[in-house]
Structures are given as structure tokens and as C-alpha cells.
Chain A
Amino acid sequence: MRGQLAPYMFLSPTLILVTLFFFIPLVMVFILSFTKLDMTNFGILEWWKPVNWSLDNYVKIFTNRFLSRILGNTIMYVAVTLALFNVGMALVIALITTHIKRRTGFAFRTLWFLPRITPVVVYTMMWRALAGPAPMGLINKYFLVPLGIGGGEYLLHTHPWVFIFLVNGFIGASFGMILFASAIESIPKDYTIASKVDGATTWQTIRYVELPMIKWPLLFVTTYQTLSLLTSFEQIMLLTDGGPGLYQTEVWSLTAYHRALTSYFGNTQWGYGAAWSVVLVIIGIVMAVIYLRVFKFGELVEEPKIDQL
């Protein structure tokens, strides 16, 4: 095990899993995206033969008249949810819960973890109850009507985007919350005590001691969650399914799902859906590479010293 092979022995389980569940599927999706495979010609069309390959699906995507709306929706969805919740709210909860009584902090973090561990079907059902029209809907009944705001309409129809941000954000926030809280707790107590002794306020301690020390988890969560949001669609599918207006809340990954696995005409267009997802994979890879460069992840990958015995 001392030889050149040792690293690869350690990597082999990951290599096998990645090959089976990422590379082979990706190559297949890539090939499928050039074909017209759908439910009607499944078993007939020889999709693996280059004769049946064409760029038609891609032409169809880039001439789709809803393309700019879907792209705009995707950018808005990722940017707003990420900034307000997956990073913003996550940081706020982590900072507050590590500065209040320990037990209260634990209680709040448990509360915020609930959305993540609730079955997604039940979770979206709960949000529909929150958004419901008066007198059933919770937000209408307990907040808006007493305050005299709005006419008690079904909020999911009047403000679908607000709820898409909330529903996804409440799940997303707990990922960053756990990592940030953990990072803050791992800061040696000497640092914070020293700043207190020097007369710093809590806010100054946070700003000048704690935030700089959790720089890496901040960058990691930003990167990781951008990619998570880009590829997630379950909640939007269950909540609005791209509606209520025409493509009003349709995002890229949901389009890929709709084209590949559901269709109004009764046939699922696997080839066309695959083309949508290939473009999404490319967007994701480009984003990841940009993040890796901008955040200088390279510094994390310093050469290990252990081999220089």
C-alpha cells in the first residue's frame, strides 16, 4: 500500500460510485439530447446510432419564445433565495443562536431544522394552508386581515414568487445555519473574550472577530447552495408547478423535468428533456468554476506535507 497505487485504493469506492451514477448517466443524457427519443418511439428508435443524432433539440430550446422568461426566473430564484435565506437568514440564525442562552439557541435551531426533515409533500401542503384565502389561510387570518392588508385572497395565486422564495428558503437556511453555527462555536473562546475585554460591543465582536473567522464556510455554503438551488425543483413542482400564469414560476430544472417526464400531449420527450438538462449541467459547471476561481479554493488544496517524510 506504500506505493504509487495507495491513493487510488483510497479513492476507488468514490471513483466507482461516481462512474456508475454520474459519468455513465451523463454520457447517456448527452447522447439522448441529440435524439428525438420519446415514449412513442421507445424501443424503435435506435438512439445510440449517430445517424439519428441532430442538433434539433438545441435549436428548439434556443428558439423557444419562453426561453428568456425561464432563464430570468431561474436567475431570480437562485439569487434571491440564496441571498435572503440560504446565506443571509442562515447567518442571522447562526449568529443569534450562538449569542443567546444555549438552550434557547438549540430550540430555535431545532425549529429551523423542521422544514428540512418534514416530508416535502406535507411541507408544501402546510405552506398552502399558510397561504390560503381567508378565513382558512393562516397568514390571512392571523396577520393580514387583523392588520387590514389585502382582501383575503389566495396568496399563492396573487404572490407566487414570494412563496417560492419562502418555501425553498426555509429549507435552505438550515444547511448554512448548521455549518455557520458549528464554525462560530469552533472559534477559540480566547478571541471573543479578548475582544470583550477590549470593550468591543457584541456587534463589533461579530463584525471584526467572528465573521472573518468563518470566511471559508461562508464561501463554501454560497457555492454549494448556488448549485443546489440551480438543480432543485421538487418544491416548486409541488407548490405551483410553474404556474399560476403561463411559465410564471417555471425554472430551468423544472422545464427539464416537465419535458422529460410529463407532457400535456401524453408522450414524454426524453431527448428534448435531456437537452434542457445538458444546458443546465453546463450552466452549473460554469458557475462552479467561476466560484472556485473567485473564492480562491485553490488555497485549500495546498500540497499535503505528509508525503515529504
Chain B
Amino acid sequence: MITKRIIPCLDVRNGRVVKGVNFEGLSDVSSPVELGKYYSDNGADELVFYDITASAEGRALFTDILTEVAKTIFIPLTVGGGINTLEDFDRVLKCGADKVSVNSGAIRNPDLITQAAKKYGDQCVVLSADVKRVNGVYRVFAKGGRENTGMEAIRWIKSCVERGAGEVVLNSIDTDGVKGGFDLEMLDAVCNVVNVPVIASGGAGCKEDFITLFNTLPKVDAGLAASIFHFGEVEIADLKKTLQENGINVRL
């Protein structure tokens, strides 16, 4: 059967990997090419590459660094950040991406998902949603978590899947960077309304958080994290061994 996936995320700015707490206060971590290769060689099931500032700065994603990353890794690669048009899809796919993640671009123009799914297939289109509770309601945020769109998140995610998004990355702004565990409540709400893979993002602080994630929510397909992997607090190979010991099906 299909394994649960562990996915390190490279948030890239100016060609370097960065990771902020609650998306602010960015600090330099390392070279995306070196980190990507390290992860590809050391048990990561997939790599996500976000040009986190592309959308806020209104420019296209850096494709030269992306090409370098794609050349050195031999696991699936998802790319996002500043994806607004079918031409953007085409450009990053030609650089070696397997899937393309849309966020602000889909909020501005939901039809982007429909068109991309038709042209490249559902499996190629990943919806990335930044979600935060505002007065007890899940709201979708745009531009790297900077702007409240006012849209109700669960309904938004469901509509994107109906348009052809083949996978959902759910980033909880509430738990991101806090390292207190994934946002199980928010994830459960999303899993209940979609029948495509859901990737949990935001909040992982230790190995136990992944065990809790997969044991509590068997419908979640993957766990994504950045800083705990980049700083070596959690080694992916060690994490997967622990998951297996806890009866969770992973690729070793």
C-alpha cells in the first residue's frame, strides 16, 4: 500500500532557504541545492520548494535555482510561489518540477486551477492554503499569510478540489512555527470534505507530533515541515524508523 510521506519544505528567498516563525522574522538557513540533495539522499519522500516572497513582491519565481535543485534530486518536487498563469506552470514544469502549488494566484483567479488541471492533469495541481482562525472561523490568507481574504477556508478548499486540485497542502498559520504539534482540528475539517491527498503543514516540533498526526487522522497522507529538519532537530531517517515502529507504513 501507499506509504505516508514525510516532506521537507524549502522556503526560498533570494536564493537561500529561510524559515520564519509565523511567516515573519526570516533567518537564513542554507543553500537550497545543498539542502535539497541532502534530503533526497536521506529519506525525504518529496521536496517542496516555495519562493515565499514571489507572490508578495509580485514577481515570477526564480527558475535558475529551481533548475539546479531539480537536477540534483531524484524524488518528486513540488514548486510554488508566484504561480499566477498557465505560463508559470509551464515554466516551472520545464525546470523539472513534478507538481505546481498555487495559493495567491488561485485566490485571484480560481479558474487557474481548472485550466491547469485540464492541461497538466489533476495530479500536477496542488492547492496550498494558508489558514488562520479569525473569531472562531477558518479564514484563507493570501500573500504568504499577510492578507486576510475574508473567505471561509473549508468551503474554499472544497471548491478548489472540485475544480481539479489533486492535492491539498494545509498550512495552519495558528500552529506554524510554534512547534506544539500539527493543527489536528483544522486538518480533520479539511479531510472530511475532500477525497484527494491532504498534506499537513505547520506546527511539527518533534517526532511524536508526526505519530500523533498519522494515528489521530489516518486520512492525512503526508506531514510537511521545515525548520525542525533544516536545523537537525529531527532526522528524517530516524523519524521514519520511529513511525514504522509505531505501526505507520513508511518508505525506509
Question: Do A and B bind?
Answer: no
B residues engaging A (CB < 8 A)? none
